[in-house]
Structure 1
């Protein structure tokens, strides 16, 4: 799957596939017959119905889960907006490849396939306070790299990221897409405070003011203020939707990238669930704007797809109950109607 232009993306999002409502209805019908009070598994039941609709089967499965991590470097990092130097991005990619990061352990725990796509780490995006972070060609290349990482078939895709400075980028995108004071979107990221946090706030304010003329097109916002890994996440989320694959979002950065699709098309994120709400200041606010309810609230702020991978355990629990529980008839248990 490859997009040749922004115009093609705008055209494709006008006819996004919907969930299979018959499969979802069948999953609801089975749930009603399982040996439990109606609604007693609460959010777990809703997750099953979501997965059934996007997988097109009444009894969803999570045998083939793909965790897609995208990494990019940012020109804005030179302004001291992170507690870590930009070299850490490449170092962490190497750590992923060696199997030494948190996400590696979580992928192994759940038997999920993990892939890491490093996007021109030796060529950071430009400082968005001075000029657009990417050209249209660079942004499209990153979008297409994300789309290419999505398998033809998957029970679930998890998206994650690595990129020093990318919470600054995410805050800028969120503020540009949804408005509000910059201070409502900018958080501590890797743990910045004092002068570094002031620099982060200033960078986002200057960037949004400089690119005010681009704020009427979500793709132009992504190009002007974004990063290659965020563009790739957007591409992956869009490709997954076009293939009717459900996506489990991670933290603030993945939500900001996915928000571009939400602004391009009403209901654009209907195929998405959100694994957790992070400790990053703007994440809960952004999820509210996206109509996404996180599965977990653990105060995590690592990135890498780690919060979503932890939440994968909840989805597996939901699917196991729906698949393995007996119906009232099978267990010879009287239902609420006494039958």
Structure 2
């Protein structure tokens, strides 16, 4: 059995190489949530002052670089977004397997912000509600969708047809779901293909735009959008549908429904988006169903990895009962 990798030791090597012999590492630890292989730590000088706080995201060693494991794919995206008004954490460094980390990696500045999921326990800014926070997230999302990706990111991404995208998720679902879920998901997939919008807006999308991935400052304003692992170019409405179902308790099973602390009227999210984007978003129900189908597949796959012991994570045991609910609700809202 392979020995576990001491990423803290590798981080210390990286800090020495980048900041000099006197620099050190403190407060090293994994990032919260489902952030993949990522660690946060402070870099301090020989004089004990903090030089930088960073988050380092790593490609899993020995794993084929694809999708969310291809961390270097984010480099041109983060560099481009740094030239816009989209709030992102600055990219400080990137390197390949020749770096001390021994694998592809990027480092971003660690910002002193909190996500809405964590704020919801009672530390919202005075006079602000959860709806206020979500509205500000939606406004920031419209900036993402307004990015001129063809000018700033030539060759970075190509829109994928609904049929091809659903075929990708179907292959993943086939590895994970039971026959009942597969039958239900198949009905959703057929409806999505049959009723897909035409002529809708295309552009840069985040891919996982939800409360954990938006950081706020102490006053409740958006500090940064984080975790761009599955960003791409395509139907921007999917991000709006994704945020909407994430904050709608009716899309979750009984166990996870108890975990979800925020429940926002989807009509509010739809209205805020159209207001700040300055464009209409028709077929909102279709986008909610599309997003729920994608996440239902991700959840089913991760539940399987958890239960087989390949990637234990108790969060997905809590989420297991939500998998059929996500597909059922998708079927119910797809034409709304």
Which of the pair has the greater relative contact order for Cα pairs under 8 Å at 6+ separation?
A: 1
Hey, which of these two has a bigger chunk of strand by percent? 2
Structure ranking higher in helix proportion: 1
Give the TM bin, normalised by the shorter chain.
under 0.3
Instruction: With the length of structure 2 as denominator, give the TM-score of the two structures.
Output: 0.26
